[in-house]
Amino acid sequence: MTNQTFLIDNLAFAARGERLEASLPLSFFPRLCELIESQHLEADANNPPGDVASPNSKLEGLVNFVLNGEKNVLGQCYLHLVLNVSLVTSCQRCLSKMPLSLALDFHYLISDADDSSLDDVEATIGDDFDLQEVSQEMDVKLLIEDEVIMALPIAPVHNNDCAAVTMQSGEKPNPFAALKGLIKS
């Protein structure tokens, strides 16, 4: 799978109703790895603090995707992308590692509309589809990486309350608490 290219002619792919399905490690997505590494690399026992992982280092997680092409009766070509992403990030509340799973679904209309008619096309399709420019060498991995990066939460936190584990700011023991019992009423 590592030698497989993920460049497609998106218009021909959709017109023929082709399907592309794969399960790729996170190391195939360098920009995504940078974001994830920056969140959990410090807590990784295999790397010293501040160490930057090499591109060949094993990161936890997989990106599973299915890309389907479709041509409707009007001759319009569509791509449908379904992503299931499993990765490890850092909880912004307790700073411990936490698994993060994303299930994403995207629909694209392939269009060769020029800039002047782009607004008309967008008004016609509404919010149901995103536009993809016709390309003879569309990089599917780049598309997937872009969509996953945009879907990442800004500040991921555990679903359960992990706040009790962390100390809130200003939550310090009072050094004069022992003297309180010495005060005579």
**One-letter identity of residue 11:** L
* Integer Cα distance of 145 and 28 in angstroms: 9
Quick check: 41 and 52 in contact, CB under 8 A? yes
DSSP state letter for 166 = S
Q: Which two tokens stand for residue 136?
A: 């003879």
Residue-wise pLDDT for 60-113, tens only, equals 678 999 999 999 998 889 999 999 998 888 888 888 888 888 999 999 999 886
DSSP, collapsed to helix, strand or coil, labels residue 150 as: helix
Quick check: 140 and 6 in contact, CB under 8 A? yes
Give pTM, 2 decimals: 0.69
Residue-wise pLDDT for 99-153, tens only, equals 888 999 999 999 886 554 555 555 555 567 888 889 999 999 999 999 999 999 8
